[in-house]
Copies of this chain bind each other. A is one copy, B any other.
Amino acid sequence: MRYELYYWAGIQGRGEFVRLALEEAGVDYVDVARESDDNGGGEAALLRYLEDATIVRPPFAPPFLKAGDLVIGQAANILAYLGAHHGLAPHDEAGRLWANQLQLTIVDFLVEIHDTHHPIGANLYYEDQRDEALRRTADFLKRRAPKYLDYFETVLERNPTDSDYLIGATLTYPDLSLFQIVAGLRYAFPRAMARLEKKHAGVVALHDTVAKRPRIAAYLASDRRIPFNEFGIFRHYKELDAKR
């Protein structure tokens, strides 16, 4: 079976958490909106699907993944599915719940990261909410980012196996997502992250370990990895990362 990922072609966004899992799993997939229109791809294919009134179980928004007859929406939900089917999640119920719990906490973190540059509304331009973004980002960097990073550092410290990973001795899908969070925060807030990383050695080690995994390293070096940019979730605006 060839998976079909539907996500915006020009950004990492929430789709990137799925891309990383598909790459690490080494499965066959097509990133539909990045295919040419001639091939039935492009964002037009994505929009056609979203507007198709015959879909009985429609997704609210991208990303969604076609897996044979299944169409699965919401990144954390897609990851739970891929984790269970491709060895990227624990097998026991307690482990599966724990992986999902960590992933949902990463999603909460991600929403707060997004809202640093869009505190008033995703439909408005950054430039039209820049003053509010400055205020929100100050609170985020002072209180929220440290709180989340402290939490994941604690989870890593308490992992009884002493691995670099969040759960047990082997990689699971939340590790891929936490890697992406660190990579994104480094892009968006290089100044603030340099300071924060000093207190979160375990989180940094997890990032580095994931980045070196052969399939992830190959993916990051390929043109399948879209560069960070100012249309995605992690955006670098110098004024937001400035000393205050």
Contacts and interface: CB of A to CB of B under 8 A. Distances in A.
Interface stretch (A27-35, A152-160, A195-203): A152-160
A72 to B, nearest CB: 5
A100 B121 contact: no
Size category, A interface: 35 or more
Nearest to A167: B57
Interface stretch (A133-141, A180-188, A209-217, A233-241): A133-141
A49 interface: no
Interface string A44-64: 000000000001111110000
Interface in A138-153: 139-140, 143-144, 148, 151
A97 B77 contact: yes
Contacts of A73: 101, 105
A104 B120 contact: no
Given A57-B158, A105-B60, A124 B98 contact: no
Contacts of A55: 158
Contact of A143 (B101, B123, B140): B123
Contact of A151 (B60, B93, B108, B129): B60
A74 B101 contact: yes
Interface string A73-114: 110110011000000000001100110110011001001000
Given A74-B105, A123-B139, 10 more contacts: A56-B158, A56-B160, A58-B154, A69-B94, A76-B104, A77-B101, A119-B120, A119-B132, A120-B139, A121-B140
